[in-house]
Amino acid sequence: MEWDSTIWISAASYFGAGCAIGFGAIGAALGEGYTAGKANENLSYRPEMSGDVLKTMLVGQAVAESAAIFALVVSMLLLFGGAAGDNAFHGIKYLAAGLAAGLSAVGSGIGAGYPAGKACESMVRQPAASSQITLMMLIGSAVTQTPAIFGLVVAMMLIFAGMAIEGALDMWKFLAAGLVAGLSAVGSGIGSGLPAGQACEGLGRHPETRGQLMLLMLVGSAITQTAAIFGLVIAFLLMFVDFGGSPYYPYWAALLGAGLSTGLAAMGPGAGGGIVGAGACDAVARNPESQRPVMTTMLVGIGTTQSTLIYGFLVSLLLLFGSFSESANYVPSFSLLGAGLAMGFGGIGPGIGEGITGGYAVRQVGRLPERATLLTRTMLVGQAVSESTGIYSLVVALLLIINV
């Protein structure tokens, strides 16, 4: 069989379609399953509320389904959109589009299921506040879809923007763009659902705290979007900066490493920030008078969880805009790729670990506001120790880059 550009473009497009819906189906199904599970669990206590709970369950599942629908749309476009290009390298854009849409839907699907499940639980506990709980759920679940929308935007640009691919190096930059847009959205999607879910649960306990919980939920969920935004920035740089004058070796590895550095490093901070935000919502629901110190501690705690994201972003910029000499030796290429992987994977654990520390801290501040200073100081010391492993990863990544 003659392997011409048309065959390669079609093959990559079909593969991208499979990646889009394959990954995209994971998160929504998990989120919907959690929602249905909580609905069944709580209906066993209040079967007379089956109508309201069933309605809330279905609405929540519909929102969680949105991320998978985005992935399905991209999959259909890749299957039936008539993928075309001037050369075989154009196929990689369609594969990258599938990865961007599919991976970004994972976190959003899971994240949307958490507030929906908690809403079913709270509605049974506090039937009189059903409308308020439903509103909180809808707003919180909608915010979780933002990272999936970022992935969808990148996917659509890769498919329709008509960006030229003039050589093999351009192929790697588009693949990296799809990966960073998809991977960086996973943590943010899950993380933004955690404060929303805890706000719904808190509203079921104390409906009078609705305004306070809404504020904390929106602030906490919004800050968790930082990880996906950083990934979106790197994706745009990869798509629109011209690297045509750079030598193929080792720049193919630098471009791929740049996408992996921010994409992977964003996972931990996105989820970790959500853990802190959820703790803050829980604290204020139990003690509304503690909102001011809880908010302050939450902002500090979430801000600290984003540190390794910044490290990953820094390594990505160094890989994108560093000056590397042409070399036919594979060592420089894999050194740069290793730098991206070192910082990418190295940023996941610290982000989540610091989030766990912050989550416990804000909950205790809610219980004992007068000890906020002591608890915040202890939180920061604990987070600094957790941060050390991310710093080790940064040091190794920098050594690998400098070594080239």
CA distance linking residue 392 with residue 385, whole number of Å: 12
Residues of the chain with pLDDT > 90, as a percent, come to: 89
Where does the pLDDT of residue 184 fall: very low under 50, low under 70, confident under 90, or very high at 90 and above? very high
The number of domains in the chain is: 1
Cis peptide before 207 (omega within 30 of 0): no
Segment 37-53 shows an average pLDDT of 92
C-alpha dihedral, 155 to 157 to 161 to 165, nearest 10°: -60
Say what the pLDDT of residue 164 is: 77
Q: How many angstroms separate the CA atoms of 231 and 146, rounded?
A: 13
Residue 388, judged by CB atoms within 10 A of its CB (0-12, 13-18, 19+), counts as: exposed
Q: Is residue 102 part of a domain?
A: yes
Residue 2 lies in a domain: no
Domain that holds residue 141: 11-402
- Identify whether the C-beta of residue 185 lies closer than 8 Å to the C-beta of residue 228: yes
pLDDT in tens, 210-221: 999 999 999 999
Say if 1 falls within a structural domain.
no
Residue 108 belongs to a domain with what CATH number?
1.20.120.610
Lowest mean pLDDT of 70-84, 276-290, 309-323, name the range: 70-84
What mean pLDDT value characterizes the chain?
A: 95
- Would you say residue 379 lies in a domain? yes
Lowest mean pLDDT among 86-100, 147-161, 189-203: 86-100
Q: Does a structural domain hold residue 3?
A: no
Q: Is residue 98 part of a domain?
A: yes
Task: Report yes or no on 5 lying in a domain.
Answer: no
H helices present in 146-247, as ranges: 146-160, 168-205, 210-224, 226-240
**What is the per-residue DSSP string for 65-103?**
HHHHHHHHHHHHHHHHS----SSGGGHHHHHHHHHHHHH
Query: Is position 151 within any domain?
Result: yes
